Amino acid sequence: MAARLFRYARCLLALSMVCVLSACALFQARDPLTINVIGIEPLPGQELEMRMAVKMRVQNPNETAVDYNGIALKLDVNGQPLASGVSDQRGHIGRYGEAVITVPVSITAFAFLRQAYGLGKLDSLQGMPYVLKGKLAGGPLGTVRFTDEGKLDLPKGGSLAW
């Protein structure tokens, strides 16, 4: 009886391994999306927060399209959290295609003060390193995460560009 159970368990294990390996073959490796922040525009804010619209160019270098039904962003400047935002917008980025996506983000007064305190003065944001992390939600298997890094390039007046 024990030998028979052992044989069934071994067959079940072998069958499970074959299923797992074949499932892995179905999921092709995807190249990461190319994300570039192309602008930041001010939005009306509330009492102790600033709001901005972050514009990103998203390029899909893959053979399959990316459909998304939500976006989340987090922006760190000089290694410190500065802004975050979410949007429930839906969209489609075709195979080897691109799209411009705008996401509203919030900066709390405390995050702004933390940045100002860390810098010592407010006018020295020019050239500061930033990291933008986010995801395009697309269901359990379709969520695409991304990261963009660079240095702030803040022109005098007008909207902000990176």
Q: Are 41 and 60 in contact (CB under 8 A)?
A: no
CATH number of the domain bearing residue 126: 2.60.40.1820
**Whole-number pLDDT of residue 154:** 57
**Whole-number pLDDT of residue 21:** 55
User: Has residue 116 been placed in a domain?
Assistant: yes
Domain of residue 118, residue span: 30-151
User: Has residue 15 been placed in a domain?
Assistant: no
Against a cut of 0.75, is the pTM above it?
no
| Residue in 155, 53, 156 with CA at minimum distance from that of residue 103 | 53
Tell me the three state secondary structure of residue 6. helix
User: Has residue 161 been placed in a domain?
Assistant: no
> 92-116: per-residue pLDDT in tens?
999 999 999 999 999 888 777 777 7
3-state secondary structure 109-155: HHHHHHHHHHHCCHHHCCCCEEEEEEEECCCCCCCEEEEEEEECECC
27-35: average pLDDT:
77
> Which residues are registered as beta bridge partners of 135?
72, 145
Q: How confident is the model at residue 160 (pLDDT cuts 50, 70, 90)?
A: very low
Structure token pair of residue 154: 């803040």
> 44-57: per-residue pLDDT in tens?
988 888 898 989 99
**Whole-number pLDDT of residue 79:** 85
Q: Are 81 and 74 in contact (CB under 8 A)?
A: yes
What is the tally of structural domains in the chain?
1
